[in-house]
Amino acid sequence: MKSISLPVFLVTALALTATNLTGCTGNRGGKKTEETAEAAKDGAIGAPGTPKLITMEEVDDSLNSKIEGERFRVTYGPQDQWTGAEEPLVTIVEFSDYQCPFCSKFTDMLHEVVKDPAYAKDVRIVFKQFPLPMHKDAQIGSEASLAAGEQGKFWEMHDILFKNQKAMTRADVEKYAAELKLDMDKFKAALDKGTYKTQVTADLDMGKQFGVRGTPSFFINGKWQRGAPREIAGLKALIDTEKKAAEQLIKDGAKRSEIYARIMKAAKDKRTEPPPENKPRPGAPDPAVNYAVPADGRPSFGPEDALVTIIELSDFQCPFCSRVGPTMKQIKETYPDDVRVVFRQLPLSFHDRARPAAKAALAAAQQGKFWEMHDALFANQKALDDKSIEGYAAQIAGLDLAKWKTDLADPKLETMVKEDETVAGKFGANGTPAFFVNGRFLSGAQPFEAFDAVIKEEKAKAAKFLAEKKPAKGKLYEEMIKGFETELKVPPPPPPADFKRREVLTKGLPGKGNLKNPKLTIVECSDFDCPFCKRGADTVTQIVKEYGDKAAVYFRNYPLPMHKMAEPAHRAGIAAQNQGKFWEMHDLLFANKDKRSDEDFKAYAQQLGLDVTKFERDYADPATAQRVKDDMAECGKMEVRGAPGFLINGRLLSGAQPFERFKLVFEEELNGGFEATMKKDAAAKAAGGIAKPGAPAAPAAPAAPARPVAPTAP
């Protein structure tokens, strides 16, 4: 790899060039001309038709004082891959891992941003490799993407790898390379020789230099951000702030082409990560407080009368839960007589095999074989289908497989899992792994040292309690928690929907659920080509399942301009609705985002048994196209600004939020809405008291709030 001596590079547009520049070759949406197809590679600066680079050495420090906030010198150069604006106001440098599920979600967000007309000319994304040791095939994925980039196909390989996170072996990446029609001899040679190992290592070293410890981590105009925002709106808010700052920098005298170079000129060349504050996040347990988290006879190792009991809440499909295994082993070896570990189940909703795995472990526990199954499941996180799990059970010595199958089908296991989930929610453990060390909270895959410090403190306190109270043998923890906090005192965040009622029309919309007399009327504004809308659709399925007797769910068409093939897909949905098959078509369209031709839509109609002639006529009818426009206008009228957007009894909830967030709004609506909450708050205040913890803080009621129009079945 060529050594780059200049510390930072920025692209400027070439003056009077005939080439239509869209960023690096291989950029999303970018096209290479025939003249530059061979010469211009991803990041191959200096090839015909590619832009000039500006370094921070080419700018002075006269504007350093204008750069606000803590910035870090996260540089990039010709060896790096980027996409987006030619002269960006905002540069996002992303450190990512192809096998990290959170990185995949963040990639979807970034993809949406660079395709959004509101940001396309202002934002650039730079990709840095940061394969984590826990992801055994992430390194080969990193090298494969760079080898593909050498042939102008970095972003294509990037997308394939994120779509196939569980299939990233050498054989897998060679298959993807063949699909991309790469020069296979050249591609294989790059992997065999380890051509790009040095570049991957350089990215890792840079990340560590600036405090990157996990993925995704990103720097936006040099400002450090850890983790992905929960919603794209959060990312856009960060971008908007930086965009305004960049525009001010231009007013202060900077050229647009110099923005990132100017920022880097003023940035720090190293980041020292401050020690973590021992303060609870809003809605999270306080690490300094002992919470009365019960053991309830769940599977455990260590003596029953141990001075310290650790309640572990875990998910068998969570990579971070697997990562903490060696730490728990070290605790067991270091404190064989003083620590007991109790395992409780917390299968996360986005891990589709976590719940079956939890039940499999509990079924094994009925024969005293929980930990054997526990180890097998964590060792095989990528193979948790029913057949594989049964295979692990069959390999456990002394396990009666027939009895295990019988126990696995017992409804009491589902009850146990739900009880564990309730305990987790009660004490604010919303992610995995989570631990309570004699009731004190530790979040995530912490190193042994973090556990050891708390264990030592709690061991001393427990020894004193034992000497003074002398509880019965095996009852120490049970007696201690009687004096612990019995619930989380930090109030959860308010419901995510706003506090405004809108007049929501439902006539003519496709709907499902209780369409006659619902207590919850939900109108979804969605886009069939939006990945976040797909998640929203999955949440709608869960809503209908759990609230179907109380809720009516309706669909409005809201194709975003950036998704060119979304509008035809929505016309196909309407044409299917005309024959009573909207939801069936809805599912097909979300499941097949890459198939958007007229012939594809016709094939879906045939698959659903529709009258194809009528379908094609309705699909092409100008009235259908107008219906899509009308829906978009109505969503806009309801103040929907992105997809998906949900109107819940006229209240706007934006984004593909977790089901639990929807439930907060539903429960409030079923108990009188935010208006009732305000009355309770006002009454409590008048009486000199305070509102019950957990009640959302609501603003003043809007004048003459509008109620949703009674739903009408289509």
Report the pLDDT value the prediction gives residue 630, as an integer from 0 to 100: 97
Report the pLDDT value the prediction gives residue 699, as an integer from 0 to 100: 45
Report the pLDDT value the prediction gives residue 589, as an integer from 0 to 100: 97
Average pLDDT over residues 557-570: 93
Q: How far apart are CA 252 and CA 270, in angstroms?
A: 27
Q: Is the predicted pLDDT of residue 705 greater than 60, yes or no?
A: no
Report the pLDDT value the prediction gives residue 700, as an integer from 0 to 100: 39
Q: Which of 101-115, 280-294, 452-466, 468-482 has the lowest mean pLDDT?
A: 280-294
Report the pLDDT value the prediction gives residue 492, as an integer from 0 to 100: 54
- Quick one: fold of 300-357+409-483? Glutaredoxin (3.40.30)
What's 555's DSSP letter? E
Q: Which of 29-33, 462-466, 639-643 has the lowest mean pLDDT?
A: 29-33
Selected from 2.60.40.1120, 3.40.50.300, 3.40.50.720, 3.40.30.10, the CATH number assigned to the domain covering 10-266 reads 3.40.30.10
Do β-strands 223-226 and 308-314 pair in parallel, antiparallel, or remain unpaired? unpaired
Helix (H) or strand (E) holding 632: helix 622-637
28-86: pLDDT as tens digits: 333 332 232 333 333 333 333 345 567 788 889 999 999 998 999 999 988 899 999 99
Q: Is the predicted pLDDT of residue 339 greater than 80, yes or no?
A: yes
Number of H helices, E strands in the chain: 25, 17
Question: Tokens at residue 216, please?
Answer: 């995704």
Residues of each domain in the chain carrying CATH 3.40.30.10: 10-266, 300-357+409-483, 511-686
**Of 27, 23, 85, 93, whose CA–CA distance to 51 is shortest?**
23
Average pLDDT over residues 480-505: 85
Write down the residue that tokens 């009818």 correspond to: 621
Q: Is the predicted pLDDT of residue 13 greater than 50, yes or no?
A: no
Q: How far apart are CA 549 and CA 180, in angstroms?
A: 49
Helix (H) or strand (E) holding 20: none
Average pLDDT over residues 276-280: 53
158-173: pLDDT as tens digits: 999 999 999 999 999 9
Report the pLDDT value the prediction gives residue 309, as an integer from 0 to 100: 98
Report the pLDDT value the prediction gives residue 683, as an integer from 0 to 100: 83
Report the pLDDT value the prediction gives residue 284, as an integer from 0 to 100: 81
85-135: pLDDT as tens digits: 999 999 999 999 999 988 998 999 999 999 999 999 999 999 999 999 889
Helix (H) or strand (E) holding 358: helix 354-365
* pLDDT averaged over every residue in the chain: 86
Report the pLDDT value the prediction gives residue 15, as an integer from 0 to 100: 26
CATH class label, 511-686: alpha beta
Helix (H) or strand (E) holding 308: strand 308-314
Question: Tokens at residue 328, please?
Answer: 């728990």
More confident position, 2 or 542: 542
The structure's pTM equals 0.44
Report the pLDDT value the prediction gives residue 698, as an integer from 0 to 100: 47
Q: Are 80 and 92 in contact (CB under 8 A)?
A: no
Report the pLDDT value the prediction gives residue 227, as an integer from 0 to 100: 72
Q: Are 201 and 126 in contact (CB under 8 A)?
A: no
Q: Is the predicted pLDDT of residue 695 greater than 90, yes or no?
A: no
Report the pLDDT value the prediction gives residue 597, as an integer from 0 to 100: 95
Write down the residue that tokens 């950029």 correspond to: 27
More confident position, 579 or 688: 579
